[in-house]
Amino acid sequence: MVSKIPIIAQRVRKVPRQFSWVDQRLVRERRIDHCSHAAAALYLFLITVGDAKGMSYYADESIKQRLSMDPSMLHQARENLIQTDLIAWRRPLYQVLSFDDAKTATALKQPLSLEQIFNQTLGGAP
């Protein structure tokens, strides 16, 4: 069995408190408003086939066939989901991201200034 190591460990998907596996914040927080139709279809597919942590190894060929997408459409859908902070992807692994730590993870992705780097290196305040 292949072990799946999360791409972003701080964002491992958890079953939401409400009754469904699809987190209602997708609509309530208007995250879906930033997704194309193809991206929404890919997201639904990924949460359906993912394991309990939101991880899956579906190959592009299988996804394109199941969702009737051409290579360009799949690429654009995947990029849309990455840019909207809904998934992480490192070939061949997809990770559906938790909504819980999105702000923290987004802050971690921001570039640091030289002052912040020196402060962290020298043990000062970030």
Question: What pLDDT, on the 0 to 100 scale, is given for residue 72?
Answer: 98
Tokens representing residue 22 in the block: 């699809």
Instruction: Enumerate the β-bridge partners of residue 87.
Output: 96
Using pLDDT thresholds of 50, 70 and 90, give the confidence band for residue 17: low
Say which residues have a Cβ less than 8 Å from residue 22's Cβ, sequence separation at least 6: 16, 44, 47
Kindly report whether the peptide bond that precedes residue 92 is cis, defined as omega within 30 degrees of 0.
Answer: yes
The string of pLDDT tens digits covering residues 66-107 is: 999 999 999 999 999 999 999 999 999 999 999 876 554 444
Question: What pLDDT, on the 0 to 100 scale, is given for residue 105?
Answer: 46
The string of pLDDT tens digits covering residues 45-57 is: 999 999 988 999 9
**Which domains does the chain possess?**
9-99 (1.10.10.10)
| d(C-alpha 79, C-alpha 89), whole Å | 9
Ramachandran angles phi, psi of 81, nearest 5° = -70, -35
